[in-house]
Amino acid sequence: MAAKANPVPSVWARQQSAPDQPALSRVAIVREAIAMLDADGIEALSMRKLGARLNAGATSLYRHVATKDELMELAVDEVAAEFTVPPPGSPWRAAATEASVSFRATSLRHPWLSSVLGQAGLAYLGPNLMSYSERLAGLFTDAGFPEPSRAIDTVMAYVIGMSTTEAAWLSTVARSGRTEGDLIASLMPAAQQAAAGHDHLTEAYADAAVHATVDPVAIRDAKFFYGLEVVLDGLEMRLPR
């Protein structure tokens, strides 16, 4: 007798076993989970704590969401509804820039997002992420890229990487209880001392000491857009002439 295949471990690959109840619905569970993730990060989220926030036992939650992994898939897809992509027919570079900026802004509103995208099971099967991917595919296909999926992967690898680093830094700032400029100023002497003897780094940190504390948001924006422009310049060279 053939062995029974294991079910695919994803909320998008199984039927919901129980209908939502007005007092405790999947929607309410996911929204409360996102609020906890935004406030305290991934480590603070558990089914037990979530149940306490909703005045419900963990058993009640499991009727709607089978595991914490499924909950993360649902949370990722719910947040993905905030991603925007310009309508078909938009100039591809401007549209790719707008889509990238939207993804980054969403990631900074939800600092846990970028770090879990590769871990949240089959989150990409969710309706909101599917819609976002479809719109990106249309954008790069209409632009004439012979392999639009590779162009998308290239842009998203850059955006996710930068957003993950930036969100982690902003979480550090939040935990410090200081403003971003104040925290940078307090760390700069140690950074300059560590760079002593490394000529290029000494120069870089000296420049950062002058500018980074004045408008750190503008500095982060400039870094993001510089890299994005480099990526898009490279992709544009791949378009058929």
Name which CATH class applies to 12-66: mainly alpha
Say how far apart CA 215 and CA 208 lie, in whole Å.
11
Cβ atoms of 36 and 53 closer than 8 Å: yes
Nearest Cα neighbor of 11 from 105, 121, 130 is 121
Assessment of whether the complete model's pTM goes beyond 0.75 = yes
Closest by CA to 151, choosing from 58, 237, 81, is 237
pLDDT of residue 214: 76
**In a 3-state reduction of DSSP, which class is residue 10?**
coil
Whether 195 and 205 have beta carbons less than 8 Å apart is answered as yes
Please tell me the predicted confidence (pLDDT) of residue 21: 46
At 88, is the secondary structure helix, strand, or coil?
Answer: coil
- Per-10-residue mean pLDDT of the chain, 241 residues long, equals 60 57 80 94 89 85 87 93 94 97 96 78 79 94 94 95 93 92 89 89 80 82 97 95 77
Whole-number pLDDT of residue 215: 87
Dist CA 45 CA 35 (whole Å): 10
For 92-236, give the CATH class. Answer: mainly alpha
Burial class of residue 227 (count of CB atoms within 10 Å of its CB; 0-12, 13-18, 19+): middle
**Which tokens belong to 180?**
């971003």
* Dihedral angle computed from the Cα positions of residues 8, 11, 14 and 18, in that order, rounded to the nearest 10 degrees: 150
| CA Rg value for the chain | 22
Residue among 180, 50, 165 nearest 107 (CA): 165
Q: What tokens appear for 119 in the block? A: 């871990």
Residue 122, pLDDT score:
62
Q: What is the structure's pLDDT at 17?
A: 52
CB 80, CB 127: distance < 8 Å:
no
Amino acid at site 184: I
Q: Where are the domains of the chain?
A: 12-66, 92-236
Question: What are 44's two structure tokens?
Answer: 């603070």
Q: Which residue has 């499924």 as its token pair?
A: 70
Helix (H) or strand (E) holding 163: helix 148-176
